[in-house]
Amino acid sequence: MSAGQRANDIPLGCEFLEGILQNRANQIILDRFSAFGIKDWWLTAGCLAQTIWNIKANQAPGSEIADYDLFYFDPDTSWQAEDHVIAQGTELLADIPVSVEIRNQARVPIWYPEKFGVPYGTVTAASDGIDRFAYQTTAIGVRKDAGKDGIDAYRIYAPFGLAAVMEGRVIPNTVLPVKTVYETKVARWQTIWPDLIISPWPEECDLGQND
Protein backbone atom coordinates (compact mmCIF):
# COMPACT_ATOMS: atom_id res chain seq x y z
CA MET A 1 0.00 0.00 0.00
CA SER A 2 1.42 3.38 -0.97
CA ALA A 3 1.10 6.15 1.59
CA GLY A 4 1.60 8.82 -1.05
CA GLN A 5 3.16 12.19 -0.18
CA ARG A 6 1.93 15.32 1.49
CA ALA A 7 1.46 18.25 -0.89
CA ASN A 8 4.39 20.13 0.62
CA ASP A 9 6.69 17.18 -0.05
CA ILE A 10 6.11 16.86 -3.80
CA PRO A 11 7.04 19.45 -6.46
CA LEU A 12 3.93 21.42 -7.51
CA GLY A 13 1.92 19.53 -4.90
CA CYS A 14 0.35 22.56 -3.24
CA GLU A 15 -0.65 24.17 -6.54
CA PHE A 16 -2.09 20.88 -7.78
CA LEU A 17 -4.06 20.22 -4.60
CA GLU A 18 -5.43 23.75 -4.50
CA GLY A 19 -6.55 23.31 -8.11
CA ILE A 20 -8.31 19.96 -7.81
CA LEU A 21 -10.18 21.12 -4.70
CA GLN A 22 -11.74 23.95 -6.69
CA ASN A 23 -13.90 21.19 -8.15
CA ARG A 24 -16.59 20.80 -5.49
CA ALA A 25 -17.27 17.19 -6.50
CA ASN A 26 -13.64 16.23 -5.84
CA GLN A 27 -13.81 17.92 -2.46
CA ILE A 28 -17.00 16.15 -1.39
CA ILE A 29 -15.84 12.71 -2.57
CA LEU A 30 -12.54 13.06 -0.72
CA ASP A 31 -14.26 14.26 2.46
CA ARG A 32 -16.86 11.51 2.56
CA PHE A 33 -14.76 8.57 1.40
CA SER A 34 -12.10 9.38 3.98
CA ALA A 35 -14.56 8.21 6.64
CA PHE A 36 -15.86 5.25 4.64
CA GLY A 37 -13.65 2.72 6.41
CA ILE A 38 -11.37 1.60 3.57
CA LYS A 39 -7.67 2.24 4.21
CA ASP A 40 -6.20 1.76 0.73
CA TRP A 41 -8.03 4.00 -1.72
CA TRP A 42 -7.47 6.89 -4.14
CA LEU A 43 -9.59 9.37 -6.08
CA THR A 44 -7.79 9.27 -9.39
CA ALA A 45 -7.45 9.87 -13.14
CA GLY A 46 -9.47 12.28 -15.25
CA CYS A 47 -11.40 14.04 -12.52
CA LEU A 48 -8.10 15.37 -11.18
CA ALA A 49 -6.22 16.12 -14.39
CA GLN A 50 -9.23 17.55 -16.19
CA THR A 51 -10.03 19.86 -13.29
CA ILE A 52 -6.55 21.32 -13.68
CA TRP A 53 -6.97 21.63 -17.46
CA ASN A 54 -10.33 23.34 -17.02
CA ILE A 55 -8.84 25.89 -14.66
CA LYS A 56 -5.96 26.56 -17.05
CA ALA A 57 -8.50 27.01 -19.88
CA ASN A 58 -10.66 29.38 -17.78
CA GLN A 59 -13.53 26.91 -17.75
CA ALA A 60 -15.61 25.75 -14.79
CA PRO A 61 -13.48 23.28 -12.76
CA GLY A 62 -15.95 20.40 -13.22
CA SER A 63 -16.72 21.01 -16.89
CA GLU A 64 -16.70 18.04 -19.32
CA ILE A 65 -15.55 15.49 -16.74
CA ALA A 66 -17.20 12.20 -17.70
CA ASP A 67 -16.71 10.38 -14.41
CA TYR A 68 -14.86 10.28 -11.12
CA ASP A 69 -12.74 7.19 -10.47
CA LEU A 70 -12.35 5.78 -6.97
CA PHE A 71 -9.81 2.95 -6.75
CA TYR A 72 -9.58 0.80 -3.64
CA PHE A 73 -7.89 -2.47 -2.72
CA ASP A 74 -9.59 -5.44 -1.07
CA PRO A 75 -8.01 -8.92 -1.29
CA ASP A 76 -11.53 -10.36 -1.52
CA THR A 77 -11.88 -10.56 -5.30
CA SER A 78 -15.47 -11.80 -5.33
CA TRP A 79 -17.95 -9.85 -7.40
CA GLN A 80 -20.30 -9.75 -4.42
CA ALA A 81 -17.76 -7.99 -2.19
CA GLU A 82 -17.04 -5.32 -4.80
CA ASP A 83 -20.73 -4.87 -5.56
CA HIS A 84 -21.40 -4.29 -1.86
CA VAL A 85 -18.78 -1.53 -1.70
CA ILE A 86 -20.10 0.02 -4.92
CA ALA A 87 -23.64 0.05 -3.54
CA GLN A 88 -22.59 1.62 -0.25
CA GLY A 89 -20.38 4.18 -1.98
CA THR A 90 -23.13 5.07 -4.43
CA GLU A 91 -25.50 5.71 -1.53
CA LEU A 92 -22.87 7.79 0.26
CA LEU A 93 -22.41 10.02 -2.80
CA ALA A 94 -25.96 9.88 -4.20
CA ASP A 95 -26.59 13.63 -3.85
CA ILE A 96 -23.58 14.60 -5.99
CA PRO A 97 -24.64 15.13 -9.64
CA VAL A 98 -21.66 13.27 -11.12
CA SER A 99 -20.88 9.68 -12.12
CA VAL A 100 -18.57 7.99 -9.59
CA GLU A 101 -16.90 4.72 -10.65
CA ILE A 102 -15.79 2.67 -7.64
CA ARG A 103 -13.58 -0.33 -8.45
CA ASN A 104 -11.59 -2.88 -6.48
CA GLN A 105 -8.16 -3.02 -8.12
CA ALA A 106 -7.62 -6.57 -6.89
CA ARG A 107 -10.30 -7.67 -9.36
CA VAL A 108 -8.80 -5.98 -12.43
CA PRO A 109 -6.53 -8.94 -13.40
CA ILE A 110 -9.68 -11.08 -13.59
CA TRP A 111 -11.43 -9.12 -16.35
CA TYR A 112 -8.66 -7.07 -17.97
CA PRO A 113 -7.16 -9.74 -20.28
CA GLU A 114 -10.54 -10.53 -21.84
CA LYS A 115 -11.39 -6.86 -22.34
CA PHE A 116 -8.02 -5.60 -23.62
CA GLY A 117 -6.25 -8.75 -24.82
CA VAL A 118 -3.16 -8.43 -22.61
CA PRO A 119 -2.32 -9.73 -19.11
CA TYR A 120 -2.52 -7.18 -16.31
CA GLY A 121 -0.16 -8.60 -13.72
CA THR A 122 -0.46 -9.02 -9.97
CA VAL A 123 -2.14 -6.32 -7.90
CA THR A 124 -1.28 -5.82 -4.23
CA ALA A 125 -2.41 -2.22 -3.67
CA ALA A 126 -4.84 0.33 -5.09
CA SER A 127 -1.88 2.33 -6.39
CA ASP A 128 -0.98 -0.53 -8.76
CA GLY A 129 -3.93 0.50 -10.91
CA ILE A 130 -2.62 4.05 -11.11
CA ASP A 131 0.85 2.82 -12.08
CA ARG A 132 -0.66 1.05 -15.12
CA PHE A 133 -2.70 3.88 -16.61
CA ALA A 134 -2.02 4.34 -20.32
CA TYR A 135 -1.02 7.94 -19.58
CA GLN A 136 1.72 9.08 -17.21
CA THR A 137 0.02 12.47 -17.04
CA THR A 138 -3.16 11.28 -15.32
CA ALA A 139 -1.46 8.63 -13.17
CA ILE A 140 -2.23 10.56 -10.02
CA GLY A 141 -4.23 9.71 -6.92
CA VAL A 142 -5.40 11.84 -4.01
CA ARG A 143 -6.92 10.76 -0.72
CA LYS A 144 -7.76 12.44 2.56
CA ASP A 145 -7.03 11.25 6.09
CA ALA A 146 -10.18 10.69 8.14
CA GLY A 147 -11.02 13.34 10.68
CA LYS A 148 -8.37 15.80 9.51
CA ASP A 149 -8.52 19.15 7.74
CA GLY A 150 -6.08 21.48 6.09
CA ILE A 151 -3.43 20.79 3.49
CA ASP A 152 -1.72 18.09 5.57
CA ALA A 153 -4.91 15.99 5.61
CA TYR A 154 -4.33 15.09 1.95
CA ARG A 155 -1.96 12.60 0.36
CA ILE A 156 -0.89 12.65 -3.29
CA TYR A 157 0.33 9.59 -5.17
CA ALA A 158 2.07 10.65 -8.39
CA PRO A 159 4.61 8.07 -9.65
CA PHE A 160 5.44 10.23 -12.68
CA GLY A 161 5.26 13.57 -10.90
CA LEU A 162 2.89 16.51 -11.44
CA ALA A 163 4.73 18.66 -13.98
CA ALA A 164 3.05 17.13 -17.05
CA VAL A 165 -0.50 17.58 -15.79
CA MET A 166 0.15 21.14 -14.66
CA GLU A 167 1.70 21.99 -18.04
CA GLY A 168 -0.97 20.23 -20.12
CA ARG A 169 1.42 17.66 -21.58
CA VAL A 170 -0.03 14.19 -22.19
CA ILE A 171 2.66 11.49 -22.07
CA PRO A 172 2.05 7.77 -22.69
CA ASN A 173 2.82 5.12 -20.12
CA THR A 174 3.94 2.02 -21.99
CA VAL A 175 3.96 -0.46 -19.10
CA LEU A 176 1.05 -2.21 -20.89
CA PRO A 177 0.72 -2.43 -24.72
CA VAL A 178 -2.48 -0.39 -24.98
CA LYS A 179 -1.78 2.02 -27.82
CA THR A 180 -5.40 2.01 -29.00
CA VAL A 181 -6.67 2.88 -25.52
CA TYR A 182 -4.22 5.79 -25.35
CA GLU A 183 -4.98 7.16 -28.79
CA THR A 184 -8.75 6.90 -28.41
CA LYS A 185 -8.77 8.75 -25.12
CA VAL A 186 -6.37 11.52 -26.11
CA ALA A 187 -8.36 12.14 -29.30
CA ARG A 188 -11.41 12.87 -27.14
CA TRP A 189 -9.40 15.05 -24.80
CA GLN A 190 -8.08 17.14 -27.69
CA THR A 191 -11.60 18.03 -28.78
CA ILE A 192 -12.33 19.45 -25.31
CA TRP A 193 -8.91 20.85 -24.33
CA PRO A 194 -7.30 21.72 -27.70
CA ASP A 195 -4.26 23.31 -26.07
CA LEU A 196 -3.02 19.99 -24.69
CA ILE A 197 0.38 18.89 -25.96
CA ILE A 198 0.09 15.23 -26.95
CA SER A 199 3.10 12.94 -27.14
CA PRO A 200 2.60 10.00 -29.56
CA TRP A 201 2.66 6.39 -28.44
CA PRO A 202 6.18 5.04 -29.19
CA GLU A 203 6.08 2.75 -32.22
CA GLU A 204 8.50 0.27 -30.64
CA CYS A 205 5.94 -0.38 -27.89
CA ASP A 206 3.21 -1.64 -30.25
CA LEU A 207 4.25 -5.31 -30.18
CA GLY A 208 1.59 -7.73 -29.05
CA GLN A 209 -1.35 -5.38 -29.57
CA ASN A 210 -4.08 -5.71 -32.13
CA ASP A 211 -4.93 -2.35 -33.66
SS (H, E, C) the chain: CCCCECHHHCCCHHHHHHHHCCCHHHHHHHHHHHCCCCCCEEEECHHHHHHHHHHHCCCCCCCCCCCEEEEECCCCCCHHHHHHHHHHHHHHCCCCCCCEEEEEHHHHHHHHHHHHCCCCCCCCCCHHHHHCCCECCCCCEEEECCCCCCHHHEEEECCCCCHHHHHCEECECCCCCCHHHHHHHHHHHHHHCCCCEECCCCHHHCCCCCC
pTM of the entire structure? 0.94
Q: What is the pLDDT, as a whole number, of residue 3?
A: 86
pLDDT digits (tens, 9 = 90+) for 117-146: 999 999 999 999 999 999 999 999 999 999
pLDDT digits (tens, 9 = 90+) for 4-38: 999 999 999 999 999 999 999 999 999 999 999 99
What does the domain layout of the chain look like in residue ranges? Answer: 7-205
